[in-house]
A and B are shown apart, each in its own frame.
Chain A
Amino acid sequence: MKNRTKRGLWIAAGLAGLGIAAALVLNAFQSNLVFFLTPSQVAANEAPRDRNFRIGGLVEAGSVARDRDGLTVRFRVTDTAKTIPVIYIGILPDLFREGKGVVAQGRIGSDGVFQAKEVLAKHDENYMPPEAAEALKKAGHPMDKGAFAGQKGTKK
């Protein structure tokens, strides 16, 4: 009987441990979800004020400006319907270009400027971030996927 009680206790301890682990995991999961929003959604005030989120779209042509310090960059992200100003301090990834797709992560300031902590690096110039493509589609200007993926039979 004593052995059985002991074993029961061990099993209970194990289950309690698992329960705590599950609670920790779900709690961390809940507080670290990063939502994706289109510029139109941000303009409609759907953006959370107190947590990070991602926006995606095109870097508006002619919108990129650099401050005197050489590191502060201001640009606008558009889904062709609405435009959100973005500020970023640091070195941009290689494939950041005006008129190309971009995804930025950060939070919105009280002045309505999106303060990007991260501008996501892309690996291929032909590649359109799916979030950005989604934003354009929602705004009613879907980009032809082929125009970006352009994998098949393109000749030099």
Chain B
Amino acid sequence: MIPELGHFALVVALALAAAQAILPLVGAATGRGALMATARPIAAGQFIFVVGAFAALASCFVGNDFSVANVANNSNSTLPAHYRFAATWGSHEGSMLLWTLMLASWTFLVSIFSRHLPERMIARVLGVMGLVSMGFLLFMLLTSNPFDRMLPPAEEGRDLNPLLQDPGMVIHPPMLYMGYVGFSVAFAFALAALIEGRLDAAWARWSRPWTTAAWCFLTIGIALGSGWAYYELGWGGWWFWDPVENASFMPWLAGTALIHSLAVTEKRGTFRSWTVLLAIVAFSLSLVGTFLVRSGVLTSVHAFATDPRRGVFILLFLVVVIGGSLALFAWRAPKVGLGGGFAPVSRESMLLANNVLLTVALTAVMLGTLYPLFLDALNLGKISVGPPYFDTVFYPLMAPAIFLMAVGPVASWKQAALPDLWTRLRWALGAALVASILVPLVAGRFSVGKLLALWLAFWVVFAGAVQVWQRLKSAPQAGTWAKVCAQPLAWWGMTFAHLGIAVFILGVTLVRGYETEQDLRMSPGQKVEIGGYEFTFVGTREVPGPNYTAVQGEVQVRRPGSTAIVETMRPEKRTYHASGQTMTEADIDTGFTRDLYVSLGEPVGDGAWGVRIYHKPFVDWIWGGAFIMALGGFLAICDRRYRLRKAAVAAQAGLAAGGAKA
């Protein structure tokens, strides 16, 4: 009964999505207020039914209803309850439902927090989101119904892939999808502006917090995925330039360019068409990412059994959404206008450089990701593009962007003076140079790349510190805390996000430059010294788990010459009962300045094992940096000017109405 109710809820949601797409758009085009006013209640209704469908599927998973094919294929009664719940989005069908749920939630949130927007605008925004939702609901109902029954019902499920039985995997997909789908808001705003033929600073201010929120979630989602690859795949790497990773990274690059371009559009009214184009690109890449990862075109832990009908549907959907919005852009963008000019040395020009560099990097990543797929699709042979390509292309492109990242916030809009910039930043420049030379002097292993990367990271940190100091010094308030509070949150947010990038670069550089990785054969009692620690392999024993049996190794970690145990590490080799699949579970001792990473290979006779021992300095700074970036984004969203603007917007709306008549 519950699956049928869920299915029914999806059908109703589809009908509502269609209504949400058609009525408000028609209303906005013909100027009928009654039709435009339907947008909000319909969006709420659609949200309720999608939530209902999702709850129905979740209850099938938690309640072990193996008569539902999706449940039988992706869950098992011995699976712990929280993983049964997470298994709801562990399959293709379930993840599509999660996508739709996220879209319905964003739509609902937009409909609530948009009271101050002009009616016509919000009708168009919600209408466009309804169109997207319609596409996804149709896709689900036609090709991937999560509620399909199976006759006769299975007695037991086939289990969730053991690699996905992990807390990180429980939250990674929802976060990532929050990000992907969040760009649909920016996309809808962009299309609404194109249809309207009007785009100004107010428009940019409306769509900015939404875009930043989406970007924050995407950042967290990617960081979680990377962290998962680090501790779960047993290889100790955190980024492989794998197509699946690139699929989520491309929208991130576009989104990063977009939030910066939006800043210019809001503050200076420039870059308008470019901003709209980026909004379209960011969301299109989110769709492409979903398609690449979920359709089985790319083979990975994310890909499921492929069904050609699905591929055709998604391709058609992509063509309609991307092609349609680009056509609209080509037709209407000239109306939107370009905005004012600026001098070659100004904050605008630096943000322009940032956008150009990010876009070029995006194109390079896209080339490396999609080219092998095209060759394969055309039957011209199988190739792959290795990480060295991405490394050699990506780092040189990002270096100037990061250099400018420290200068941009200090430079004035419209026209900046180089001598002034020099006076303000020379100390940061010198301090960064000293710090980046000191690190290899103390820690050894000198290299040019490392020096440059460290210098950039310290440069961003010190230039940020200088800017904070100068702003606080010139603030009129009495007392430091009052001065801190007087600065806009958006500015603090930017400062934090940039600091996050610096922390991230430090993590990447230090782990690359100073890590030690060793695969070795270890007999019980054998010792090895790695990264300033002494590892002793004690032996292995069998340990039962909730739905697996594990061989658990014991490795004692000491400082050389000392008998005190710093840490006892217990890596496992698990065999899952339901699927019989073996899985390596590394044990990681996480520290502020280093991770110790031990995982078991295979038994090689006489109680000896192949053991993998890594010492990874500062590796956690990589994810720490990503979370600081996201924190910065969330701070920026909380800025007062996004909330205290009703009066200003009412005036704007009046103008807009006047403008529409004229």
> Does A18 interact with chain B (Cβ within 8 Å)?
yes
- State the CA gap A29–B306 with chains docked (Å): 30
Q: Please, which residue of chain A has its CB at the minimum distance from the CB of B387?
A: A32
> Does B452 interact with chain A (Cβ within 8 Å)?
no
Contact B602 A29 (CB under 8 A): no
> Does A50 interact with chain B (Cβ within 8 Å)?
no
A69 cross-chain contacts in B, Cβ below 8 A = 521
> Does B524 interact with chain A (Cβ within 8 Å)?
no
- State the CA gap A143–B515 with chains docked (Å): 42
Contact B389 A28 (CB under 8 A): yes
A123 cross-chain contacts in B, Cβ below 8 A = 161, 163, 300-301
The 0/1 profile, CB within 8 Å of A marked 1, for residues 328-372 of chain B is 000000000000000010000000000010001001100110010
> Does B415 interact with chain A (Cβ within 8 Å)?
no
- State the CA gap A98–B389 with chains docked (Å): 32
Instruction: Tell me the smallest distance from the CB of B134 to a CB of chain A, in Å.
Output: 28
- State the CA gap A27–B397 with chains docked (Å): 14
How many residue pairs bridge A and B at CB < 8 Å? 114
Q: Please, which residue of chain A has its CB at the minimum distance from the CB of B522?
A: A70
> Does B483 interact with chain A (Cβ within 8 Å)?
no
Please, how many residues of chain B have a CB less than 8 angstroms from a CB on the other chain?
55
> Does B158 interact with chain A (Cβ within 8 Å)?
yes
> Does B480 interact with chain A (Cβ within 8 Å)?
no
Q: B356's contact among A10, A14, A90, A93, by CB below 8 Å, is which?
A: A14
- State the CA gap A125–B162 with chains docked (Å): 11
Contact B388 A153 (CB under 8 A): no
Instruction: Tell me the smallest distance from the CB of A33 to a CB of chain B, in Å.
Output: 5
Interface size class of A (residues with CB under 8 A): 35 or more
Instruction: Tell me the smallest distance from the CB of A130 to a CB of chain B, in Å.
Output: 6
The 0/1 profile, CB within 8 Å of B marked 1, for residues 139-156 of chain A is 000000000010111111
A28 cross-chain contacts in B, Cβ below 8 A = 388-389, 392-393
Instruction: Tell me the smallest distance from the CB of A122 to a CB of chain B, in Å.
Output: 9
A70 cross-chain contacts in B, Cβ below 8 A = 521, 604-605, 608, 610
Q: List CB contacts (< 8 Å) of A13-46 with chain B.
A: 14, 18, 21, 24-25, 28-29, 31-36
Q: Please, which residue of chain B has its CB at the minimum distance from the CB of A91?
A: B601
The 0/1 profile, CB within 8 Å of A marked 1, for residues 559-599 of chain B is 00000000000000000000111111000000000000001
Task: Please tell me which stretch of B8-16, B264-272, B277-285, B376-384 contacts chain A, meaning at least 4 of its Cβ atoms lie within 8 angstroms of it.
Answer: B376-384
Instruction: Tell me the smallest distance from the CB of A59 to a CB of chain B, in Å.
Output: 14
Instruction: Tell me the smallest distance from the CB of B516 to a CB of chain A, in Å.
Output: 15
Contact A92 B602 (CB under 8 A): yes
Contact A152 B367 (CB under 8 A): no
> Does B305 interact with chain A (Cβ within 8 Å)?
yes
- State the CA gap A131–B299 with chains docked (Å): 11
Contact B299 A130 (CB under 8 A): yes
Contact B367 A124 (CB under 8 A): no
Contact A156 B360 (CB under 8 A): no
| Residues of chain A whose beta carbon lies under 8 Å from any beta carbon of chain B | 6, 10, 14, 18, 21, 24-25, 28-29, 31-36, 52, 54, 66, 69-71, 89-95, 121, 123-125, 127, 129-131, 134, 149, 151-156
- Counting from the closest, the 10 A-B pairs by CB-CB distance are A70-B521, A91-B601, A70-B604, A32-B389, A151-B305, A36-B382, A123-B301, A28-B392, A90-B519, A34-B384
Q: List 21 A-B contacts (CB under 8 A).
A: A6-B344, A18-B356, A25-B367, A29-B368, A34-B384, A34-B386, A35-B383, A52-B386, A69-B521, A70-B604, A71-B520, A71-B610, A91-B519, A91-B599, A91-B602, A92-B602, A121-B235, A123-B161, A124-B301, A125-B580, A151-B73
